[in-house]
Amino acid sequence: MTTPAVDSRLLGLAHYAARGVLEHVLARHGITFQQQIALRTATVNAPRTPDEVVDLVRDFLKADPAGIRATIDELLAKRLLVVDGAHLRPTDEGRELLAAVNAEVAPISARIWEGMPVEDLAAAGRVLALVIQRANAELAVLAH
């Protein structure tokens, strides 16, 4: 097999292939990709205010803040998050859902990444970090 040059198309194909695996697992648990990202964001380093969750998810997904707020409302309706004063907190069900998804995805991820040389992963990490940095800079210019 000829090694393809890394470009935006290949990066996108890799992203959507991996995301497809995750979305398949998430669907079995009745949760969407954006809901999982928002729930995880509200759970990690909790407590977080709704505005903090919106800002972080927007930064991660480049999604519309109104859509993210709707996603938070969906998580509240599903009782995966609760409002506690000025903060959002995951419920036991929310934590259990994240743990179940992680447990189901972990062996799949291990198979996907298995056997890749550490040096290749380090090089890919450096390239991807630079792509993210540059794309975010371009997006900031476009937004103004």
CB within 8 A of 88, min separation 6: which ones?
A: 42, 46, 47, 48, 49, 50, 53, 72, 81, 82
**Contact of 76 with 67, CB cutoff 8 Å:** no
H helix runs in the chain, sequence order: 8-28, 33-43, 50-61, 65-77, 92-113, 118-143
- Residue where the block lists tokens 């972990």: 106
Task: Give, for all 144 residues of the chain, the pLDDT tens digit.
Answer: 678 888 999 999 999 999 999 999 999 999 999 999 999 999 998 899 999 999 999 999 999 999 999 999 999 999 999 999 999 999 999 999 999 999 999 999 999 999 999 999 999 999 999 999 999 999 999 988
How confident is the model at residue 4, as a pLDDT?
81
The DSSP letter of residue 3 is P
Burial class for 47, CB neighbours closer than 10 Å (0-12, 13-18, 19+): middle
- Residue where the block lists tokens 């259990």: 96
How confident is the model at residue 69, as a pLDDT?
98
Distance CA 21, CA 16 (A): 9
For residue 60, give the amino acid letter.
F
Distance CA 47, CA 84 (A): 9
Distance CA 119, CA 117 (A): 5
pTM of the model: 0.91
How confident is the model at residue 3, as a pLDDT?
81
CB within 8 A of 93, min separation 6: which ones?
A: 78, 79, 80
